[in-house]
Homo-oligomer: A and B are copies of this chain.
Amino acid sequence: VTGDEVLGGRVGEGNAGFLARDLAGYGIRVERTLIVGDDVAAVRDGVGALLSLGVDLVCTTGGLGPTYDDLTMAAVAEAVGRAMAVDTAALAMVDERSRGVPRRFGVDEESLEAMRRKQATLPEGATVLPPAGTAPGCVLDHDSTLLVVLPGPPWELQSMWSAAVAGEGPLRDLLGRAPGATTRTFRLWQVIEAELVEALSPLSPDDLDEIGTYTREGELEVVVPTRLAERVGTLLTASFADAVFATDGDQVDAIVAAALRRRGERLSVAESCTGGGLGARITAMPGSSDWFVGGVIAYANAVKISLLGVDPAVIEAHGAVSRQCVMAMADGVRRATGAEWGIAVTGVAGPGGGTADKPVGLVWIGVAGDRGTEGFELRARGDRASIRRRAQTSALHHLRVALMAPA
């Protein structure tokens, strides 16, 4: 991964993560991810270090733009000891893509031509990958490693990668030779890591060494080699029963979506401390408009009262962060939108606003359906962002449990 902006933390790393997830489906494990700045020597040395691992595949992302700090192609050429040359196929693609790019200020034709030629200059012997934006990528063989040079903007990278994977060529051949998925992912809710260690104690130390665990937002993720999946599944179910909510890597979001779709019911949300984040997370799923109608961001108490119909006396008596208020919010959004389900979140996300009685991290979750309304307390640790994410996840889990309840 190249880019001062990623290395400096001004933009999050997402490209290596995307590639790792996609490659995992082919059973290809990422050995190392290296982030370097926009500097020819750093990129060259970084690519060199990765090539020296003797891996099958090295991907680079970023640094393919038209400007002076986009220097990945030159650095890759140095790393593999090849000259650079304008690739006529690449140049035609860049010319085609550059047409119609908006120009507000006068950039002279000579500069534009230089930029286009720069973007079409590849290491000799490389095969061009057609641009998704304006920058082509390339694929080249070096000793026994395939080197794939990809752009930095996430959607350009994803488009180019998908096209390269789908098309004929050395990348497709490499993926075709890969073993296929080698792990299975179990997810548990409200189980802590120490309990997991205990539950898996019948396994040998060597087997345990191959199991990865990760705790996040009240969920525990357990990544297991395929050969152990059945045994681990049995042990987990024996110890934790319904707390095992996914045995094949599903996320709670997808589980809730599938259940609502199956039941033909609609969902609405009322959010205070999450400020819209729960709705944003739900609507991140394409097709959510089939079952999600929207709701109310009830950040101010006045909005809880006016748009959700929460009785001011409830807030007066119990406060906005209370079981009574969250149940009224869930009821209110269900009624206001006409959806079959309403979920509500209200809490103290911090850093300010905590009291001895209602400390930072206290969150109430409400779930309203045609069988009644319930309120659940959550005590989350961490900073404002963690508390808000945890509250969203918890709300989805409480809805999941309600959706799964026998009729």
Interface residues of A (CB under 8 A from B): 3-14, 16-21, 24, 29-38, 42, 46, 49, 65-69, 101-108, 111-112, 115, 133, 153-155, 158, 185, 190-199, 201, 205, 208-209, 211-216, 221, 223, 239-240, 269, 271-280, 282-284, 286-289, 292-300, 302-303, 306-307, 336-338, 350-352, 381-386, 388
The reply to whether A155 and B214 contact each other, CB–CB distance below 8 Å, is no
Q: Do A297 and B276 touch (CB < 8 A)?
A: yes
Copies of this chain in its oligomeric complex = 2
Give chain B residues whose Cβ lies under 8 Å from the Cβ of A209: 68-69
Q: Do most interface residues of chain A lie in helix, strand or loop, or is the interface mixed?
A: mixed
Contacts of A13 in B (CB 8 A): 12-13, 16-17
Name 22 A/B residue pairs within 8 A (Cβ), A-sorted. Answer: A4-B214, A9-B18, A9-B20, A32-B35, A49-B49, A66-B193, A67-B213, A68-B211, A69-B212, A103-B195, A105-B240, A106-B198, A111-B198, A154-B385, A155-B386, A275-B292, A276-B277, A276-B282, A287-B352, A288-B299, A294-B303, A302-B338
Between A24, A102, A107, the greatest number of chain B beta carbons within 10 A of the residue's beta carbon is seen for A107
Q: Closest Cβ of chain B: how far from A190's Cβ, in Å?
A: 7
Q: What's the Cα separation between A209 and B70 when bound, in Å?
A: 10
Given contacts A192-B101, A276-B276, contact A42 B38 (CB under 8 A): no
Which residues of the other chain, B, contact A199 by a CB distance below 8 angstroms? 105
**Which of B105, B208, B278 is A195 in contact with, Cβ under 8 Å?**
B105
